[in-house]
Amino acid sequence: MSAEQRLSDHERALYARQIRLPGVGESGQLRLREAKVLILGAGGLGSPVGLYLAAAGVGLIGIADPDKVEISNLHRQVVHGFDTLGLPKTISAAEALGEINPGLKVALHPEGFTVENAAELVARYDLVVDGTDNFATRFLAADACVLGGKPLVHGSVLRESGQVGVFLPKAGCYRCLYPVIPDAASVPTCADAGVFGATCGVIGSWMASEVIAVLLGKRVSSRLLVIDVAAGTSKLLALAADAACPCCGSAPSIRSLEKDAYAPTLCSTQALMSETPLEVTVEEAQRLLAGPNPPILIDVREMDEYAVCRIEGSRLIPMNTVPARLAEIPQDVPVLVQCHHGGRSMKVTQFLRSKGYARVSNVKGGIDAWSLKVDPKVPRY
Ligand SMILES: [Zn+2]
């Protein structure tokens, strides 16, 4: 046995409690050291998966995530911290994993997991962990693993429950369970539904256990675990390959990764929000207000300002009364928000968006710009 095929004394000490387990031993620890695992998403699930795999002595961990660390991530994405706010998640996660195991090799894929790089990335690793939160990437990962013949450990969380899927090659894939990508509008996301960080910890830790079991050769069939943290229950479902599966079946329709098949399935609110500009010019506002489906125009100035001048048809809801008067602002129609110069109305626009108003825009420059550029009859002050 050469030195490369043996554990060092340092490694024996580091992994002593794990090596002692039945089915691990020195050979199992060596298998982990040789293993290359790709984690998709350094988020609520990717955090515990990454930390536990790094601590367990997995040799190479790849992290694919195109996002940066945001403050709303921190309550559940425990590899990141206040000191890495604004950094790419790949870098932030690599730092945390390196701290827990300095011997670990980490590969960063800040471009994320895309149709363009999926096949190549899957080929470079022994196993893929999917901790992403959108259906497009989830199905892309599932299909890329089937086509590449690699095992996939998948996890998802919603509110206080979640699931962990283990999909081994030729033993039943994600599409055997879910043949087509659902319409995202029909499925709540974490952003809509909310999630506890600890629930991500439960599901992510369970995913890490499954990854280690697969790497050690302890899994012979695909399986799905459904875990309800609130009820304190879990259910294990054995999966079998479905001959009619569009990806791994006997006459599959999915034979390669086609870009159109994995278009981002934004939920309808997010899609509308991204289509609606945050700000419009006064000229654009005038065009919209004169159009066939005019938006509601809300003036968020004070009553004495409104008495001086107003845009015809506007409705006065002073800024500080907006939170209490949300019921007066319909959610399902376009809304323009206007004030004196555009500052207060931008705050209200962003507040309304945070409350789920997807089709709301600020009027840039406010009524003052309106007087200057659209209607000089409106007095300035
Ligand atoms: Zn299948």
Q: What is the pLDDT of residues 243-264, one digit of tens each?
A: 999 999 999 999 999 988 887 5
Place of tokens 């009553």: 303
Q: Are 240 and 296 contained in the same domain?
A: no
Catalytic residue from among 200, 247, 267, 339 = 339
- Residues with CB under 5 Å of ion ligand 1 are 173, 175-176, 245, 247-248
Q: Where are the beta strands (DSSP E) in 213-357?
A: 223-228, 233-238, 279-280, 296-299, 315-316, 335-338
In a domain, 52, yes or no: yes
Number of domains in the chain: 2
- For residues 165 and 240, state if they share a domain: yes
**Does any domain span residue 7?**
no
CA distance 154 to 177: 13
Same domain for 360 and 287, yes or no, is yes
CA of 167 to the centre of ligand 1 (A): 9
Q: Distance of CA 79 to CAs 42, 44, 85, 182, Å?
A: 8, 9, 11, 30
Domain co-membership, 261 together with 290 = no
Whether 238 and 251 have beta carbons less than 8 Å apart is answered as no
Q: In terms of domains, do 213 and 353 share one?
A: no
Q: Residue 28's Cα: distance from chain center in Å?
A: 33
Is residue 22, in this structure, part of any structural domain at all?
Answer: no
Amino acid at 363: V
Residue at 341 is within a domain: yes
**Overall average pLDDT of the 101-118 stretch:** 96
Is residue 226, in this structure, part of any structural domain at all? yes
Whichever domain contains 326, its CATH number is 3.40.250.10
Q: What is the pLDDT of residues 144-191, one digit of tens each?
A: 999 999 999 999 998 888 999 999 999 999 999 888 876 655 555 545
In a domain, 338, yes or no: yes
Query: Quick one: 230 and 179 in the same domain?
Result: yes
Nearest residue to 227 via CA among 267, 191, 200? 200
**Could you tell me if 255 and 287 lie in one domain?**
no
For residue 128, give its domain range. 35-267
* 327: in domain: yes
pLDDT digits (tens, 9 = 90+) for 21-75: 999 999 999 999 999 999 999 999 999 999 999 999 999 999 999 999 999 999 9
133: CATH: 3.40.50.720
Residue tagged active-site, from 145, 176, 190, 267: 190
What mean pLDDT comes out for the span 113-120? 96
Domain end, chosen from 267, 298, 317, is at 267
The candidate with the shortest Cα–Cα distance to 265, out of 85, 134, 118, is 134
Same domain, 209 and 300: no
pLDDT tens digits for range 200-257: 999 999 999 999 999 999 999 999 999 999 999 999 999 999 999 999 999 999 999 9
Centre of ligand 1 to C-alpha 41, Å, is 23
Tell me, yes or no, whether 198 and 181 share the same domain.
yes
**Is 190 in the active site?**
yes
Output the pLDDT for position 266. 47
**Distance in Å, CA 150 to ligand 1 centroid:** 13
Distance 43 CA to ligand 1 centre (A): 26
pTM of the entire predicted model: 0.70
Helices and strands per DSSP (H, E), number in the chain? 15, 13
Does 316 share its domain with 254? no
Residue 30, domain member (yes or no): no
Q: In angstroms, what is the span from residue 257 Cα to ligand 1's centroid?
A: 15
For residue 162, what are the β-bridge partners? 157, 227
Same structural domain, 297 and 249: no
Q: Are 236 and 369 in a shared domain?
A: no
Q: What is the pLDDT of residue 189?
A: 54
Domain end residue (candidates: 249, 267, 285): 267
Q: Cα of 144 to ligand 1 centre, how many Å? A: 12
| Domain boundary pick from 243, 267, 291 | 267
CA dist., res. 140 & res. 123, Å (int): 14
In what helix (H) or strand (E) does residue 156 lie, and over which residues does it extend? strand 152-158
